[in-house]
Amino acid sequence: MTVIDASNLIMGRLASEVAKKLLNGEEIIIVNSEKCVITGSKRFLTSLYKTKQTRGSPEKGPYFPKRPDKILRRTIRGMLPFKKARGKEAYRRLKVYVGVPNGINDYETMPAISLSNLSTIKYVHLEDISRRLGSRF
């Protein structure tokens, strides 16, 4: 079981690394999902996620999450072969939390995909996107 702190990690790069580990059979727990970072301007990213959220109908879907832990989990799901048994089993081995739950003390950081290696200065925390979508986590 691997516990990853998502603070200041780039969401897409984190998701691809986690998807690889899940397909290899590891159990992954991600903490501090609200502090994860998405690159781009705040206005563009907010409009992008708003269009994803309003797509479809309220009765039939597709449903798009508002909470930061659910958004990160959905992003990782998109990088797995979710409609096949192998992908569903891998997806079940993933747990994502807002903050750090009780009982989890030791967690690793991934410096290769952190914000410090980013050359651009435009980024938004997942917490900000989630609040603009209407979440009160």
Domain residue limits, the chain: 2-132
pLDDT at residue 90 in the model = 97
Q: Is the pLDDT of residue 137 over 90?
A: no
- Summarised one tens digit per residue, pLDDT across range 82-129 is 999 999 999 999 999 999 998 887 777 776 677 776 766 789 999 999
Say which residues have a Cβ less than 8 Å from residue 92's Cβ, sequence separation at least 6.
none
Q: Check residue 62 and give its pLDDT.
A: 87
Number of residues that this document lists for the chain: 137
Q: Are 35 and 127 in contact (CB under 8 A)?
A: yes
- Cα–Cα dist 15/23, whole Å: 12
The pLDDT tens digits for 37-79 are 999 999 999 999 899 888 888 888 888 899 999 999 999 999 9
* pLDDT for residue 108: 72
At residue 28, the pLDDT reads 95
**97 Cα distance to chain centroid:** 10
Q: What is the pLDDT of residue 112?
A: 66
List helix spans (H) across 36-121: 42-54, 68-77, 85-92
Span 26-42, mean pLDDT?
A: 93
Asked whether residue 130 carries a pLDDT value surpassing 80, the answer given is yes
Supply 129's token pair: 């996107």
Instruction: State pTM to two decimals.
Output: 0.88
CATH architecture of the domain 2-132 equals: Alpha-Beta Complex (3.90)
